[in-house]
Amino acid sequence: MTRRSRRPGRLLALGALAFGLTVTLGATLPAAPAGAAGTPTPRTGFETSHGTRWTSQPEEQAFLAAVDRASARVRVDRIGTTEQGRPLRLVRIGAPAPERPAGVRRGNSVLLICAQHGDEPSGREACLSTVRDLAYARDRATRRFLERTSVLVVPTANPDGRAANIRGNADGKDINRDHLALRTAEARAVATVLRDYRPDSVLDLHEYDAVVPYYTKDLLSLWPRNPNTAEAVHHESGVLAGEFVGPAVRNAGFSTGVYGIWTDPETGEPVKQVAGDGQERILRNTVGVKGSLGLLVETRINPLTAAEQADPALNNRRRVDSQLAAVKGAFDFSGRHRARVEAATATARLAGYADHGPVYLGGADNAPPTDAQTLSDPPCAYRLDAAQLARIEDALALHGLVWRPDPAGGAVVPLRQSLRGLVPLLLDQRAGYHLAVAMPTDDCRA
């Protein structure tokens, strides 16, 4: 049995987006809030240098502390520590700010993950200024948005990599290939946020290297391709990409395309796919399997125009501004499609309790799983022995999976749970990135 190929909805030219959130581009800053007379509005190192350099980590710490002090909408928490001792932070923004994980669910919630790859800094700059703009905005539209939407931000998901300007973390691990195994402190922190807050939408901000003339757009995006993503979640992720983020980026004056697909510069037709598959260990796919909408955005690092080549700061500002435009589109989507999104994510998370239908161990929405990659009749559960459980128990808990003790030792992990599609990906020997080779069992009473 194979799953039919699914693609996002058709692109709609929406024209100028009218939701009106105060997410600024370039060096424009929001007005100071009432009661803050004489207090300077916080600015990032990137902003004060007009894009000639990236914000340092001490500057980020001071910036977030200033925003936290100045705005009752904001909470900044430490959610982990890197190998080199740097803090991993989560910023929570709402009106009022959520007090605890359970309090984040006043409706729709959006999570921004920034700088998973340390040598891709523009998304981090967009996230930092977005935190400040949402915290300080006084316009009615933003206040109304934050009353019904919680915004969660991990501004620097890889602080050690950012400090060294390298892709991986201090151990050379690619965090964006660790969202199943959770062996890195950075991926564990992200998993904790996904488990505790269960965001409806996740925007993962990255950068890419251009390949002239086939791969040169200012900003590319891609939804979850993993075939275990629920139909409605997949569809709404496509709408997010094609009907909101794409038009918002184009309306800001930038070019857009699909990540991982080279296109003919004359015809716009696909030439070949070079990235962007359905790997479940990549964040945009992991969140889809977990029932959240996901979108990867990638801005082009390379300066291609003569002006950008002559002025690196101009190129840096383009990179950040295109990321900000994508964030603006994502917020517009959340505001307009709130009910549809909440229905899609709730349905996806409840479907696992029915314990019905196939689970896919490979494939993608544009490369349907083969019969060998399809569990047409999945087992009721997987049995772990005591040694296996001891080895992966922390990862299971971080994912939010449930299991019960096995009388013979170890544990039984049932498929009948919210994260049903995740269980075989972690425990079946045929899965590409399994954590253990567990024993399938059809004895649901075990």
At residue 101, the pLDDT reads 62
Q: What's the pTM? A: 0.92
* H-run or E-run covering 93: strand 87-93
Confidence band for 3, pLDDT divided at 50, 70 and 90: very low
The tens digit of pLDDT for each residue in 369-427 reads: 999 999 999 999 999 999 999 999 999 999 999 999 998 899 999 999 999 999 999 99
Residue 9 has pLDDT above 80, yes or no: no
In 3D space, the residue among 265, 224, 264 whose CA is nearest the CA of residue 241 turns out to be 224
Measure the CA–CA gap between 136 and 155, rounded to whole angstroms: 17
DSSP tag of 415: S
At residue 414, the pLDDT reads 97
Confidence band for 95, pLDDT divided at 50, 70 and 90: confident
Residue boundaries of the structural domains of the chain: 45-348, 378-441
Average pLDDT over residues 198-202: 96
Give the DSSP letter string of 315-350: HHHHHHHHHHHHHHHHHHHHHHSHHHHHHHHHHHHH
CB atoms within 10 A of CB 411: 21
Radius of gyration of the chain (CA): 22
Dmax of the chain from CA atoms?
Answer: 70
Q: Which two tokens stand for residue 232?
A: 């409605």
CATH architecture of the domain formed by 45-348: 3-Layer(aba) Sandwich (3.40)
Residue 26 has pLDDT above 60, yes or no: no
Residue 142 has pLDDT above 90, yes or no: yes
CA distances from 303 to 3, 150, 260, 317, 319 (A): 41, 35, 19, 11, 10
